Amino acid sequence: MTPRERFVLSRAARLCVETFGSPGDPAILLLGGAASTLDFWEDEFCARLADAGRHVIRYDQRDAGRSTSSPPSAPAYTGADLTADALAVLDGVGVAAAHLYGLSMGGGIAQEIALEHPERVASLVLESTSPAVPGGPDRPPLPPPEPRLAEAFAADADATDAAAAGTDWTDREAAVGAMVETERAFAGTLPFDAGQMRRIAARAYDRTADMAALQTNHWLAAGDGEPSSRRLGEIAAPTLVLHGTADPLFPLAHGEALAAEIPGARLVPLPGAGHQYPPEPLWDLVIGEVLAHTGGP
């Protein structure tokens, strides 16, 4: 199945959007993580959802892929703009309300939309993410990233993490290698498919105007703004929480907190998954759960 590409406008940004399946089917908007392009939602994964009767929408966030780019370390947008962009994508493809499937940073965006614009949300799927708003006194302290992440990012260039040593993002081979090794560091205990990740990273590199901007700006924009006064208990959308049992950035307790605080939410642990887009060995599990959650086959 070949995706259909279009561009939509959001405030000062031009966003690249791709869709799979029939516009008449229930829509699933895929909200990706920081420093990644729409390519990380793999074609076959999207096609399987579409073949099962879903209108699948993925897009490049600002600084990613074919969307508007800012200078590195100087994003011309805020975290609020990233949230507004998701709504603009829905408007651009003519969808009033969608199932929002948010991963990592995209999971935070999905939570914000569910709290501030509940009429746009048919349901939530939150994967590899953490509460985006403060918790009450009953929320236990959430565990920090695993020490192995700090160790990986302290490694020198000829070890496991080229990005930590100052990658030249204009050098295609170095940049692709750095992306692969960064994804390896965030992976769980399932076998890591370096060849497939290299293909994804190469496609992302070839579609992105400024790789240095992609690697820096999302982190800067997503961390701005005042703490929200909203709470997860205010989310009314049916919610499915998918979380890797071996997530080194947001250990499983982060997913457990989401499931405990969002009314009626259901947690499905992903055995061996890390902080990553759905790994292929778990596609049957993930796709089955997403289809059941968004209306069945």
Q: Which residues are catalytic?
A: 104, 247, 275
What is the C-alpha to C-alpha distance for residues 200 and 292, in angstroms, rounded to an integer?
28
Name 205's Cβ contacts closer than 8 Å, sequence gap at least 6: 172, 175, 176, 179, 211
Beta bridge partners of 75: none
The SS3 of residue 136 is coil
Task: Tell me if 201 sits within 8 A of 180, measured CB to CB.
Answer: yes
Cβ density class 275-285: b for 16+ within 10 Å, e for less: bbbbbeebeeb
What is the C-alpha to C-alpha distance for residues 171 and 28, in angstroms, rounded to an integer?
35
Q: How many other C-beta atoms can be found within 10 angstroms of the C-beta atom of residue 136? A: 9
CA atoms lying within 13 Å on the CB side of residue 139: 22
DSSP label at 262? S
